[in-house]
Chains A and B, each alone.
Chain A
Amino acid sequence: MRPVFSLLTIFLGAALLPQVLSQHRVEFKNGDRLSGRMESIQGSETVFWIHPDAVDPIELLPSYLGRIVLQEGAATPLTPEMTQLHLSNGDQLFGELIEVNGQECVLKTPYAGTLKIPRNTLAGFAPMISSGLIFQGPTSLEGWTQGRVNLNPVGQIEAGEWTYKDQAFYATKSASIARDLQLPDVASLSFDLAWRGYFTVAIALYTDSLHPVALLNKEAEPDFGAFYSLQLNTFSANLLPVKKNEPIRYLGQVPLQGMTQKKSAHFEIRLNKAKKIIALFLDGVMVKQWSDPEGFSGKGTAVRFVHQGQGSVRLSNIRVSQWDGLYEEAKPTPATLKQDLARLRNGDKVHGLFQQLQDGKLTFSIPERQFEFPMERLKELVLAPKEAPPLASSTHVRAHLFQGGRLTIQIEQWNRDGVLAISPIFGKAKFRPDAFSLIEFEPAQTRNALQ
């Protein structure tokens, strides 16, 4: 169970020390807050907090704490060699999956060395290569271009900017933010949107301009290549191919049911240049597939999000990935599975008993024979539930990784040299402190992820 903590990891940790010293924030259960820096944690008893206006380090009692936001850390880039691991208690980890045998799975991570995880706590995994992940964020405003929105020629709508905080963009006034996300020809763009009041957000797809284009006055705008404007609001979605010197076309509007009763939703846009298809999914359900009868209009590879001034919105969990062009069925939840399920990249599915992952090959037992296939062919493995996961206690915290994964751990010691913690699943491990973005104290009793 002991992780291997390599010299390289220690070196990387030391090199990243200045980032560890960056601004943090502790939020208390009663709504109080303190800026500063988390210096260390001693067991479940004391969090040592440095505040520039406090003469001495402040010794905080964890039972009063809601969460600690570690705003700047070192997000280790996800690589195609990595796999996203799902554990039975809902934890998610990233790393290079070396092997899975009858007793354990071995995950080599950039943040905690090599972890050995009991096989019976594994809920599934998905190789990053099959996700074709190109971008995941945001992690800061860096790399993004803010543009000035001029929606109204008389300037009655006040323009603003997107702000970044805690891995999300926020806009309360009309604002534009764009980035060349290198949208591939067959792509998936997904994001979470939360809103207050009514909202209207326009998303420019395959644009070559990082600055917003006023559609009503587009001929007067600086030259831009054709793009698609997907306009989302509280009631409907609309898709418009936009080309300079050509009339705007409307490819069709679709109502978005139930949005007025919600305050957030997960959107996914599937794009296929060759097939001239743009499909919109709302909370996992396809609501509309548009086909452009005049050929595909997008000339660039950038994406622009424009909040048009109404309501307040939060944009988070933006992911761009390759899409295999297939529409999958609804994802099965582990609890509904009686057998393990492997979903392959070509759309095939294998039901049976997952045996092992060895030397890059997965072995499945299916009736009367064994089936073996290489990891590269796997899109996702979902394991049928084996046993209830261990529950978290009040001394556990939920530590979120910058990559988006999360861990339920009991912290023994946290300082600049490392985080010594015990997972109820894989035991003691030492983590890089800059791998974490957020610590939640007393997370609700961890639900069985298999349910």
Chain B
Amino acid sequence: MNGKIFFLPIIIWALASLAPIASGATNEVIRLFDGSILSGSALDLDPTRGITWSSPAARKPILFRQTNIASILFPKSISAADQEKDSVSTFQFTNGDKVNGGLHSIEQGKIIIDSEFGGKIEAPQEQLQGIFFSRGQRLLYEGPTSLEGWKTGDQMRAWEYKDGAFVSNGADILGRDFNLQGSCSVEFEMIWNGPFAFSVTLYAQELDRFDYSSSSYVIYIGSASIAAQRIQAGVGTMMLGRAAPSGLANKNRAKFEIRCNKSEGTITVLMDGKFVEKWADPQGFVGKGKGILFFSQVDGVAMRLQNIRVMEWDPRFEPDNSALENKEDVLMLANKDKVRGKLLGVENGKAAIEVKGNRLNVPLDRIVQMSLAKPKATTNDSDPWLVQGTFIGGEALSFKLTDWTGEKIEGVSPNFGPLQMERSKIKQLFFNLHRPQPAEAGMEMQELDFE
């Protein structure tokens, strides 16, 4: 925080239009590093002692020491206001922070953002890793928060909703109508406990069964490979290709993103933020339905699906995550050109970049993505109160939690300084960031519902 100038002494991360969760809500879930999970509600925080937790199953509030708290989940659904954020950019920082808003300027070593939560905020430029100018983006779904709106198959072991995730103990289908119209991306985190076969049908018409009579695209994810297939009504199926992402066979959890570019007829798959493969349908895009179908195809394997996010976006602004790993700054332009060099600054609607000794000024409205050559930072800070909050819309923010009373949460961000937010905006808080998160409950073999 040294030397920073803040536009606001305290950034207030709240939208007045959103009603906070009533105090005493019991749909929050605390998870400890020993695998314990307990529903209830956080009552308050004592920086020296821990977090006081109210559970309907306990006669008195429980004071949990902060040293072994892994996370607190605040299940919530997206609101109409969340869905209307269709022209925001995403600012990604080296410590994992992601903030949505508009770029005001980058000058004198500072980036200034017109943020959604606190007006103009600033952070050191050196902490900025990239900007995704996500124009035309529309959030269709973020969750899950329940099974409502979803269809499952008629198998005995249907998907179940539990603690912010869908959990399946057997083969079954899970589908939902997202009213997909244009290009879309679907993100989800998947955790499994054995060899599995899983598929995602995009633009599905039938949501409770696997259907070959309507046109759609199926992404097959197996224990060691990922494949894409086109299903075309009246024609049949065609494999678009297969890929074997490095490390998939040795994982038991991964975050997947599938991007479908309707105008180009392409499907791009990313795993843990890294590009896996991009397949093009030689016949152009054929998907007709409006839904997405998840299908766990193997009995005997427990699967957990969480952090599902479905978005529509303008295909002209497809982000390129691989650019974040560049050794030099890169401006990706709408016409697919890339300008590599050293970013000098952004002001008056133009980005200045030095390319081989020459200064170029590129209008911001031509830039799709700006990636800065920065290594990803890792924290060794063992302060249990250094937390990361995640928010609807994919935002994430690390900060030192200093106070939590009722609906107000206060902290200090290493990037943005002091901030204050409403509990109702937070999806999940992760504690003790220097430790790996515990295994997900329900994913141990023993927890499969043996009878």
- Does A415 have its Cβ within 8 Å of any Cβ on chain B? no
- Does A402 have its Cβ within 8 Å of any Cβ on chain B? no
- Does A172 have its Cβ within 8 Å of any Cβ on chain B? yes
Q: Which of A34, A46, A64, A168 has the most CB atoms of chain B within a 10 A radius of its CB?
A: A34
Q: Are A312 and B300 in contact (CB under 8 A)?
A: yes
Q: Are A54 and B169 in contact (CB under 8 A)?
A: no
Q: Are B62 and A311 in contact (CB under 8 A)?
A: no
Q: Which of B32, B57, B58, B163 has the most CB atoms of chain A within a 10 A radius of its CB?
A: B57
Stretch at the interface among A142-150, A192-200, A339-347, A363-371: A192-200
A56-B63, A163-B446 known; A61 and B37 CB under 8 Å?
Answer: no
Question: Could you say which interface size class chain B belongs to?
Answer: 35 or more
- Does B68 have its Cβ within 8 Å of any Cβ on chain A? yes
Q: Are B448 and A312 in contact (CB under 8 A)?
A: yes
- Does A400 have its Cβ within 8 Å of any Cβ on chain B? no
Instruction: Tell me which residues across on chain B come within 8 A of A168, comparing CB atoms.
Output: 446
Q: Kindly supply a per-residue 1/0 record for chain A positions 229-273, scoring 1 wherever the CB is within 8 Å of any chain B CB and 0 otherwise.
A: 000000000000000000000000000000000011000000000
Instruction: Tell me which residues across on chain B come within 8 A of A359, comparing CB atoms.
Output: none
Q: Are B300 and A264 in contact (CB under 8 A)?
A: no
- Does A51 have its Cβ within 8 Å of any Cβ on chain B? yes
Query: Once the chains are docked, how many angstroms separate the CA of A60 from the CA of B56?
Result: 9
| In-complex Cβ contact of B36 among A35, A163, A166 (8 A) | A35
Q: Kindly supply a per-residue 1/0 record for chain A positions 158-201, scoring 1 wherever the CB is within 8 Å of any chain B CB and 0 otherwise.
A: 00000101101011110000000000000000000011111100
Q: Are B299 and A197 in contact (CB under 8 A)?
A: yes
- Does B162 have its Cβ within 8 Å of any Cβ on chain A? yes
- Does B238 have its Cβ within 8 Å of any Cβ on chain A? no
- Does B298 have its Cβ within 8 Å of any Cβ on chain A? yes
- Does B334 have its Cβ within 8 Å of any Cβ on chain A? no
| In-complex Cβ contact of A61 among B36, B38, B58, B162 (8 A) | B58
- Does B355 have its Cβ within 8 Å of any Cβ on chain A? no
- Does A32 have its Cβ within 8 Å of any Cβ on chain B? yes
Instruction: Tell me which residues across on chain A come within 8 A of B337, comparing CB atoms.
Output: none
- Does A65 have its Cβ within 8 Å of any Cβ on chain B? yes
Q: Are A33 and B50 in contact (CB under 8 A)?
A: no
Instruction: Tell me which residues across on chain A come within 8 A of B58, comparing CB atoms.
Output: 58-61
Q: Are A32 and B57 in contact (CB under 8 A)?
A: yes
| In-complex Cβ contact of B441 among A33, A53, A55, A172 (8 A) | A33
Q: Kindly supply a per-residue 1/0 record for chain B positions 50-78, scoring 1 wherever the CB is within 8 Å of any chain A CB and 0 otherwise.
A: 10000011111011110111000000000
| In-complex Cβ contact of A54 among B57, B59, B63, B441 (8 A) | B63
Query: Once the chains are docked, how many angstroms separate the CA of A401 from the CA of B352?
Result: 75
Query: Once the chains are docked, how many angstroms separate the CA of A54 from the CA of B67?
Result: 11
* CB-contacts of B281-303 with A (<8 A): 298-301
Q: Is the interface of B mostly helix, strand, loop or mixed?
A: loop
- Does B445 have its Cβ within 8 Å of any Cβ on chain A? yes
Query: Once the chains are docked, how many angstroms separate the CA of A173 from the CA of B301?
Result: 11
Query: Once the chains are docked, how many angstroms separate the CA of A103 from the CA of B58?
Result: 44
Looking across the interface, which residue of chain A has its beta carbon closest to that of B40? A32
Instruction: Tell me which residues across on chain A come within 8 A of B34, comparing CB atoms.
Output: 35, 52-53
Q: Are B451 and A170 in contact (CB under 8 A)?
A: no
- Does B268 have its Cβ within 8 Å of any Cβ on chain A? no
Q: Are A312 and B301 in contact (CB under 8 A)?
A: yes
Instruction: Tell me which residues across on chain A come within 8 A of B64, comparing CB atoms.
Output: 51, 53-55
Q: Kindly supply a per-residue 1/0 record for chain A positions 84-119, scoring 1 wherever the CB is within 8 Å of any chain B CB and 0 otherwise.
A: 000000000000000000000000000000000000
Query: Once the chains are docked, how many angstroms separate the CA of A28 from the CA of B58?
Result: 11
Instruction: Tell me which residues across on chain B come within 8 A of A314, comparing CB atoms.
Output: 450
Looking across the interface, which residue of chain A has its beta carbon closest to that of B63? A55
Q: Kindly supply a per-residue 1/0 record for chain B positions 244-267, scoring 1 wherever the CB is within 8 Å of any chain A CB and 0 otherwise.
A: 000000000000000000000000
- Does B321 have its Cβ within 8 Å of any Cβ on chain A? no
Instruction: Tell me which residues across on chain A come within 8 A of B299, comparing CB atoms.
Output: 196-197, 311
Q: Are A35 and B35 in contact (CB under 8 A)?
A: yes
| In-complex Cβ contact of B39 among A32, A35, A312 (8 A) | A32
Q: Are B37 and A33 in contact (CB under 8 A)?
A: yes
- Does B319 have its Cβ within 8 Å of any Cβ on chain A? no
Looking across the interface, which residue of chain A has its beta carbon closest to that of B64? A53
- Does A30 have its Cβ within 8 Å of any Cβ on chain B? yes
| In-complex Cβ contact of B300 among A60, A65, A165, A197 (8 A) | A197
A32-B37, A196-B169, A196-B301 known; A54 and B62 CB under 8 Å?
Answer: yes
Nearest-Cβ distance from residue A385 to partner chain B, whole angstroms: 28
Instruction: Tell me which residues across on chain A come within 8 A of B300, comparing CB atoms.
Output: 172, 195-199, 311-312
A55-B50, A196-B301 known; A170 and B446 CB under 8 Å?
Answer: yes
- Does A332 have its Cβ within 8 Å of any Cβ on chain B? no
- Does A31 have its Cβ within 8 Å of any Cβ on chain B? yes
Nearest-Cβ distance from residue B196 to partner chain A, whole angstroms: 10
Query: Once the chains are docked, how many angstroms separate the CA of A435 from the CA of B64?
Result: 31
Instruction: Tell me which residues across on chain B come within 8 A of A166, comparing CB atoms.
Output: 446
Instruction: Tell me which residues across on chain B come within 8 A of A36, comparing CB atoms.
Output: 36
| In-complex Cβ contact of B301 among A51, A64, A197, A198 (8 A) | A197
Q: Kindly supply a per-residue 1/0 record for chain A positions 21-40, scoring 1 wherever the CB is within 8 Å of any chain B CB and 0 otherwise.
A: 00000001011111110000
Q: Which of B194, B441, B442 has the most CB atoms of chain A within a 10 A radius of its CB?
A: B194
| In-complex Cβ contact of B59 among A46, A170, A198 (8 A) | A46
Nearest-Cβ distance from residue A259 to partner chain B, whole angstroms: 13
Instruction: Tell me which residues across on chain A come within 8 A of B301, comparing CB atoms.
Output: 196-197, 312
Q: Are B194 and A173 in contact (CB under 8 A)?
A: yes
Q: Are A60 and B63 in contact (CB under 8 A)?
A: no
Q: Are B36 and A33 in contact (CB under 8 A)?
A: yes
Instruction: Tell me which residues across on chain B come within 8 A of A60, comparing CB atoms.
Output: 57-59
A58-B58, A311-B300 known; A172 and B450 CB under 8 Å?
Answer: no
Query: Once the chains are docked, how many angstroms separate the CA of A163 from the CA of B194?
Result: 14
- Does B434 have its Cβ within 8 Å of any Cβ on chain A? no
Query: Once the chains are docked, how many angstroms separate the CA of A132 from the CA of B105?
Result: 84
Instruction: Tell me which residues across on chain A come within 8 A of B29, comparing CB atoms.
Output: 32
Q: Are A64 and B56 in contact (CB under 8 A)?
A: yes
Looking across the interface, which residue of chain A has its beta carbon closest to that of B162? A31
Q: Are B446 and A165 in contact (CB under 8 A)?
A: yes
Instruction: Tell me which residues across on chain B come within 8 A of A55, comparing CB atoms.
Output: 49-50, 63-65
Q: Kindly supply a per-residue 1/0 record for chain A positions 66-88, scoring 1 wherever the CB is within 8 Å of any chain B CB and 0 otherwise.
A: 00000000000000000000000
Instruction: Tell me which residues across on chain B come within 8 A of A64, comparing CB atoms.
Output: 56-57
- Does B417 have its Cβ within 8 Å of any Cβ on chain A? no
- Does B193 have its Cβ within 8 Å of any Cβ on chain A? yes
Query: Once the chains are docked, how many angstroms separate the CA of A170 from the CA of B448?
Result: 10
Query: Once the chains are docked, how many angstroms separate the CA of A28 from the CA of B451?
Result: 18
Instruction: Tell me which residues across on chain B come within 8 A of A53, comparing CB atoms.
Output: 32, 34, 36, 50, 64-65, 67-69
Looking across the interface, which residue of chain B has its beta carbon closest to that of A263? B451
Instruction: Tell me which residues across on chain A come within 8 A of B163, comparing CB atoms.
Output: 31
Instruction: Tell me which residues across on chain A come within 8 A of B169, comparing CB atoms.
Output: 196
Instruction: Tell me which residues across on chain B come within 8 A of A197, comparing CB atoms.
Output: 298-301
Q: Are A264 and B36 in contact (CB under 8 A)?
A: no
Given contacts A33-B37, A58-B62, A172-B194, 5 further A-B contacts (CB under 8 A): A35-B35, A53-B50, A61-B56, A163-B445, A199-B300
B-side residues, CB < 8 A to A, are: 29, 32, 34-39, 49-50, 56-60, 62-65, 67-69, 162-163, 169-170, 193-194, 298-301, 441-442, 445-446, 448, 450-451
A-side residues, CB < 8 A to B, are: 28, 30-36, 46, 51-56, 58-61, 64-65, 163, 165-166, 168, 170-173, 194-199, 263-264, 311-312, 314
What are 26 A-B interface contacts by the 8 Å CB criterion? A32-B57, A33-B441, A34-B36, A34-B38, A35-B34, A51-B62, A52-B34, A55-B50, A56-B63, A59-B59, A59-B60, A61-B56, A64-B56, A64-B57, A163-B445, A170-B445, A172-B300, A195-B300, A196-B170, A196-B299, A197-B299, A197-B300, A263-B450, A263-B451, A264-B450, A312-B445
- Which 5 pairs show the lowest CB-CB distances between chains A and B? A197-B300, A196-B300, A64-B57, A59-B59, A197-B299
